[in-house]
Copies of this chain bind each other. A is one copy, B any other.
């Protein structure tokens, strides 16, 4: 299987590392960065590219790098079976991933992505486009990191009708709320330390104000409940107003406070909620947890790290292998 890899940040590197380690029949025939790319129809020598990236921060100096060539050109020109887009999420427009995905689907290439933006904004359009062109469009890595949440919707629950989904799908806020509770500390103080540790972004609004959670819950709503919503349709309340005093009172009453995205009775919302301390959703630190209820099964909860280079990369590689 011949793959064009668009984006060579942390996740792209993780994919290369896995493909070096495991002989799974995937050949990377092209890698695109914003303003330079590299190709080899027989398969790129990934060790060399990874080494360059590691030592110089970029593979631009590779003798075969084509400066000025970009993903748009490669998607058109290369004979890839699958286009894998692991460029960063842009939640305002979904670009440039959105265009990459559309171009690839229209060129009848399968698409795998880890980028939430296009799915949180144009889910139905992209799904329809993949159907129309009779190619697969997979995005396991967009929600819940290593939690195999999409594959279950796609290939397991065939006789069940989904009733509700509740989940912690943002590790950063969970980490902050956990530390605020354990250390009786203010949000600002914990956030600053989380930023220093690289757990939170410099612009924390995306996590703290619930936007990331909303994007993910929208993807789940469209996937599990066949809805047609974008993240702009979600009523979102973040964790900015949560105080350590409130967390202590909740704890005394037997509850933990978690930023929960929920879908139930065709309603979607994101807000801090009280979770009984003994409930499986009450996970600490950077864990994600998602609870699914169907007409024939009571709560099924899946827990795992919500991020991580190899976690995300292996979700992408597993998507490629399921094509």
Cβ–Cβ < 8 Å partners of A318 in chain B: 156-160
| Contact segment of A85-93, A210-218, A258-266, A290-298 | A290-298
Cβ–Cβ < 8 Å partners of A310 in chain B: 296-297
User: Is the pair B311, A296 in contact by a Cβ cutoff of 8 Å?
Assistant: yes
Closest to A281 in B: B303
Question: A56 at the A/B interface (Cβ < 8 Å)?
Answer: no
Copies of this chain per assembly: 2
Contact count band on A: 35 or more
Cβ–Cβ < 8 Å partners of A22 in chain B: 159
Closest to A21 in B: B295
Question: A314 at the A/B interface (Cβ < 8 Å)?
Answer: yes
Closest to A157 in B: B318
Option from B18, B148, B159 in Cβ contact (under 8 Å) with A159: B18
Cβ–Cβ < 8 Å partners of A148 in chain B: 152, 156-157, 300
Residues of chain A in range 262-315 having any CB-CB distance to chain B below 8 Å = 278, 280, 283-284, 287, 289, 294, 296-305, 308, 310-311, 313-314
User: Is the pair A308, B298 in contact by a Cβ cutoff of 8 Å?
Assistant: yes
User: Is the pair B305, A303 in contact by a Cβ cutoff of 8 Å?
Assistant: no
Question: A55 at the A/B interface (Cβ < 8 Å)?
Answer: no
Cβ–Cβ < 8 Å partners of A299 in chain B: 303-305
> A311 to B157, alpha carbons, bound, how many Å?
11
Shortest CB distance A151–B (Å) = 5
User: Is the pair B278, A314 in contact by a Cβ cutoff of 8 Å?
Assistant: no
> A283 to B291, alpha carbons, bound, how many Å?
14
Question: A322 at the A/B interface (Cβ < 8 Å)?
Answer: yes
